Structure 1
Amino acid sequence: MTRLLAPLNAPQTSVVIADQLRERVLDGSYRPGEQLSEANLAAQLAVSRGPVREALQRLAQEGLLVSHRNRGVFVVELSPGDIAEIYAAREAVEQAAARTVFEGNRDLKAAAVARLGMIVAEMPALIAANDWKNLAKQDLKFHATLVEATGNSRLVRIYATLAAESRICMVHLENAYHRPQALTEEHQRLVDLLDTGPWEALAAAIRTHMATAVEDLTMLMAERDRLLDSESGPRTTPTSHGA
């Protein structure tokens, strides 16, 4: 006889905790390399340590935290090598997504083009306001929407982790855009090419877009590190954790 599980009336505590911690990692409240204490978090949240431990394990599996034996759990630190890997993976996923949408159902492609165009239209106001944190979210929303337009749940799931790592790169670099005024134009070009093609031009534009992001983020990371070195002395370069 099959034994049925009892229904839950609310989300699991560990899931709720993981959601809160994830957002604080992604919005920069917890800095790269910062240690997250299981005991302190449990005290702040007024819960036992069990669900906190489960939440930390979940975020470690997502690549947002890293656990060091006998030392604890830390917010991941991304190196230039990590940035290159993240954007290489993003390029592969977005190329696949773009081709699926480009060659797919005309009505679905038209709907995707319209949604993406609306996202691009909101970028100039964020740039004018120097609102880099929300601009980064809008940027990633554009790319996530492209992937979601495929209707492929596995691509969407893969991309979610890459987008989270990209957001960590951006949020800790203050202005993650070396050429902010070109951002709207670059994304609008992707929309136009998705709409009318040709595919070869769209594929090349995605490739260039990712390469430019790697170049800009790597340069800004180097500038930030030089500034930190001048203020506090030489630092130890973070070890690449892999994408």
Structure 2
Amino acid sequence: MLPQGIQRPMQVQPALGTMVANLLREMITNGQFEPGEHLKEAAIAEAMSVSRGPVREAFTQLEAEGYVELRRHRGAYVAALTRVDVEEVHTLRGAIERLAAERACTRMGAAEFAEMDEVLERMKAVDTTIDPDSAVVLDLAFHDIVYASCDHARVQRVWESIRGQVRLFLRARNINFPDFSEVGYPEHRELRDALAEADPELARAAVDKHILGAYERLKRLDLP
């Protein structure tokens, strides 16, 4: 029971601009908007039944997160993948995933490995018809378990802040190199087996090897 005179706080809904940003972010990472596509403020406001103000707020938020580029007198455009983006997200992901893996490998129990093995079985069952987005869902589901198991709230928050951009990069990798049915299962199985050894040094090395493959493929693309 609350002390006398203190009222229960009202449940606060996210600001409208944040709600619009969340929806647009999801649409961008799902490929519903393509890199370089013009995001028309009026059309989005009408489609979402909001005024233009929240849409402009959403554009500003998404620009700060790297999803949108605001061009003077021209409006908002979906940010295109660049070599700098690839290098920065790869190095940041590597730093936090090494830490996550070295902590997770000594904390994961039977339940966590069972969850991971379920994802691996789904990877093993895919064939060449798997679409790029479904492959990304499986890929991220595996890595989400590592981060959830690392028992480090700040690492998890950093992962959540870049997860959408990692999703974009993995999607680009899968579109341009449609070999997930061949490499998805064995590459993730190797990382899983390294984590099972409960050796932080081995886990760090396995992460380096694992994420380098996607990075090297993206570097081969003709990016600005």
TM-score between the two structures when normalised by the length of structure 1 = 0.79
Change (3 A) 1:100 1:6: closer
For the residues of structure 2 that align with 1:122 and 1:206, how far apart are their CA atoms?
Answer: 21
Contact 1:126 1:132 in 2 (8 A): no
2:149 paired with 1:149: yes
Contact 2:128 2:181 in 1 (8 A): no
Q: Displacement of 1:213 after TM fit?
A: 0.9
Contact 1:95 1:206 in 2 (8 A): yes
Number of residues paired by the alignment?
219
Contact 2:105 2:199 in 1 (8 A): no
Contact 2:103 2:151 in 1 (8 A): no
For the residues of structure 1 that align with 2:186 and 2:9, how far apart are their CA atoms?
Answer: 53
Q: Displacement of 1:185 after TM fit?
A: 1.0
2:36 paired with 1:37: no
For the residues of structure 2 that align with 1:117 and 1:180, how far apart are their CA atoms?
Answer: 17
2:69 paired with 1:66: yes
2:215 paired with 1:214: yes
For the residues of structure 2 that align with 1:137 and 1:151, how far apart are their CA atoms?
Answer: 23
Deviates most, 142-151 or 66-75: 66-75
TM-score between the two structures when normalised by the length of structure 2 = 0.85
Change (3 A) 1:211 1:156: same
For the residues of structure 2 that align with 1:129 and 1:12, how far apart are their CA atoms?
Answer: 40
In structure 2, what is the equivalent of residue 205 of structure 1?
206
Q: Secondary structure at the match of 1:29?
A: coil
Q: Secondary structure at the match of 2:126?
A: helix
Q: Secondary structure at the match of 2:33?
A: coil
Q: Secondary structure at the match of 1:122?
A: helix
Contact 2:123 2:181 in 1 (8 A): no
Contact 1:67 1:74 in 2 (8 A): yes
Change (3 A) 1:194 1:148: same
In structure 1, what is the equivalent of residue 91 of structure 2?
88
In structure 2, what is the equivalent of residue 190 of structure 1?
191
Unaligned runs of 5+ in 1: 223-236, 239-243
The CA RMSD measured in Å over matched residues stands at 2.6
Q: Percent identity?
A: 29
Unaligned runs of 5+ in 2: 1-6
2:25 paired with 1:22: yes
